[in-house]
Amino acid sequence: MRKLILLLVSSFALSFSLLAQVKIEGRIIDQSGEALPGVTVVEDGTNNFSVSDADGNYVLTDVDKNSTLVFSFIGMIKEEIKVGNKTRIDVVMQEDAVNLEEVVAIGYGTVKKRDLTGAVQSIKSAEITQVPTGNMMQALQGRVAGLDIVRTSGRATSGVNMTLRGRRSISGSNTPLFIIDGVIGNYEDINPNDVESIEILKDASSTAIYGSAGANGVIIVTTKKGQKGKTTVNVDSYYGVNGFLQFPPVRTGEDYIELRRQANLTTGAYVEGDPDSKLFSNAEWDAIQNNQWVDWFELGTRNGVLQNHSVSMSGGNENTIGYFSLNYYNEEGILNDDDITRYSFRANVEHQAREWLKAGLNINGAFIDQNERKGQYFTRVLSLLPMGTPYNADGSINPFPLPDDPQLSPLADMAEDQYENNEISLGVNPTTYLQINPIKGLTAKSVFSGYLNFS
């Protein structure tokens, strides 16, 4: 009887515990009603969490009714909501109002953030330079609601694909329009250390001035200018290493032979006690007898290197300000013969000729030298036998590691005069402008810009 009572009490406790665990689902949007992907939803005080999908939807299971859900996202105010008897919790997240007094650039000029009604998000220089990258847009990954940024590949020479608030076209371009210091420009030539701010214009009211060109959204980049006062010099430098966290270990020696035994046992092509030579071709068996094992992954890869060195100088007086910068950026990919080197400069000067008249000159340029390795390297590594002679006696690459085997070495494209994909380009972008303020509150600005590219 006592055991029965204990069993009933235990069953009741278990049932009560299960009833206290609920499944919560919902949708997360911003103030304009747009879905917020990537919002972290955490059951406070636990490791139970979920992340909202591309439509802002989330599901969180095994939630205690007495707990609190915490919703957090970069640039938004953290929300905390008690669960209670709810099974659905929809959230409208508010933008962090700490910096409402800051000035942001829009299509019509500049305006204080507090007076802005359109969907515009501003990213300042300090946030951009926190990320070690030579591509300023890569530094924005995960920082802007609605802006999806994906690197096209792991190559050193790869760029990024961007979509702002989803795809607008099935077959056409979905890349936002880039405005660099007031004119359409190429952001890939810009040193991230030269960027003062980036404004992302998302909705129709913000992009209307650009017409159909702004259909995919508009990204306005404002570069740094000189400041009145004494001359200042800034130096920024970093060095990093890229590599694999983990790659499947290559089976060689007895480990590989045992693998072939087991594989052939399942097909009946091999029986316990048969000689191992039965498992291999003559060329393969000769390589094994000569201990010619090869780790193709090790031969074709390396630790990637990333380095960036910048120096800038700015200054000015009451009438004239100037800014000048130099940058060296180099990235070596994890594959041999995959690298990019960029030398860039930027200079601007602005002169206040009269109280109502201002003139300026901007000029920036970049010299880029990039080498791209032929594709499918890892596919070939995984399909090629881990044996043979990768190099000839004179040190040159052996295109066919195993005699009488048509499989090409994954190193073959590295052989001299076999394959080269090298691109060298020089781009210079001069811009001059004249700004007139005939009356208070009215500004007229004329801009002349050109782009010279040699490749």
Q: Where residue 173 sits, what CATH number does that domain have? A: 2.170.130.10
Question: Of 278 and 370, which is predicted with more confidence?
Answer: 370
Cβ contacts of 235 within 8 Å, gap of 6 or more: 310, 311
Q: Which of 95, 114, 142 is the last residue in one of the domains?
A: 95
Any domain includes 129 = yes
Any domain includes 14 = no
Any domain includes 339 = yes
Average pLDDT over residues 274-300: 89
Residues 201, 293, single domain; the answer is no
Any domain includes 228 = no
- Tokens for 281, please give them: 């071709």
Residues 258, 387, single domain; the answer is yes
Q: What percent of the chain has pLDDT over 70?
A: 90
Residues 391, 271, single domain; the answer is yes
Cα dihedral 368/374/375/377 (nearest 10): -120
Residues 57, 70, single domain; the answer is yes
Q: What's the rounded Cα separation, in Å, for the pair 366 and 449?
A: 16
Residues 186, 215, single domain; the answer is yes
Among 142-151, 153-162, 236-245, 382-391, top mean pLDDT goes to 382-391
Give the CATH number of the domain where residue 73 resides: 2.60.40.1120
Nearest to 242 by CA among 132, 141, 136, 149: 132
Q: What percent of the chain has pLDDT over 90?
A: 36
Q: 0.75 exceeded by the pTM?
A: no
Among 82-91, 273-282, 300-309, the range scoring the smallest mean pLDDT is 273-282
- What pLDDT digit, counting tens, does each position of 167-213 carry? 777 777 888 889 898 888 888 889 999 999 998 888 776 677 778 88
Residues 161, 130, single domain; the answer is yes
pLDDT at 98: 52
Question: Of 311 and 406, which is predicted with more confidence?
Answer: 311
Bridge pairing between strands 357-371 and 422-439: antiparallel
Any domain includes 117 = yes
Q: What's the rounded Cα separation, in Å, for the pair 407 and 380?
A: 9
Any domain includes 248 = no
Average pLDDT over residues 281-285: 90
> Does the pLDDT of residue 151 top 80, yes or no?
yes
Q: Which of 58, 78, 95 is the last residue in one of the domains?
A: 95
pLDDT at 5: 43
Average pLDDT, whole number, for the chain?
A: 84
Q: How confident is the model at residue 291 (pLDDT cuts 50, 70, 90)?
A: very high
Residues 42, 169, single domain; the answer is no
* Tally of residues, the chain: 455
> Does the pLDDT of residue 148 top 90, yes or no?
no
Number of separate domains in the chain:
4
Residues 106, 87, single domain; the answer is no
Task: Please give the backbone phi and psi of residue 107, each rounded to the nearest 5 degrees, phi first.
Answer: -60, -30
Average pLDDT over residues 78-99: 85
Q: What's the rounded Cα separation, in Å, for the pair 218 and 221?
A: 10
Expressed as residue numbers, the domain containing 41 is 22-95
Residues 311, 408, single domain; the answer is no
Among 31-40, 239-248, 389-398, the range scoring the smallest mean pLDDT is 239-248
Residues 159, 258, single domain; the answer is no
Among 1-5, 146-150, 342-346, 420-424, the range scoring the smallest mean pLDDT is 1-5
Average pLDDT over residues 69-77: 86
Average pLDDT over residues 235-264: 86
Residues 200, 79, single domain; the answer is no
336, β-bridge pairs: none
Q: CB pairs under 8 A, 24+ apart, for 135-141?
A: 135/159, 135/160, 135/188, 135/192, 136/187, 136/190, 136/192, 136/195, 136/198, 136/221, 137/162, 137/187, 139/192, 140/198
- What pLDDT digit, counting tens, does each position of 331-385 carry? 999 888 889 999 999 999 999 999 899 999 999 999 999 998 876 788 888 888 9
Any domain includes 340 = yes
Q: How confident is the model at residue 8 (pLDDT cuts 50, 70, 90)?
A: very low
pLDDT at 213: 80
Residues 392, 442, single domain; the answer is no
Any domain includes 13 = no
- What pLDDT digit, counting tens, does each position of 218-236 carry? 898 999 998 888 899 999 9
Among 7-11, 123-127, 172-176, the range scoring the smallest mean pLDDT is 7-11
Q: Which of 69, 95, 121 is the last residue in one of the domains?
A: 95
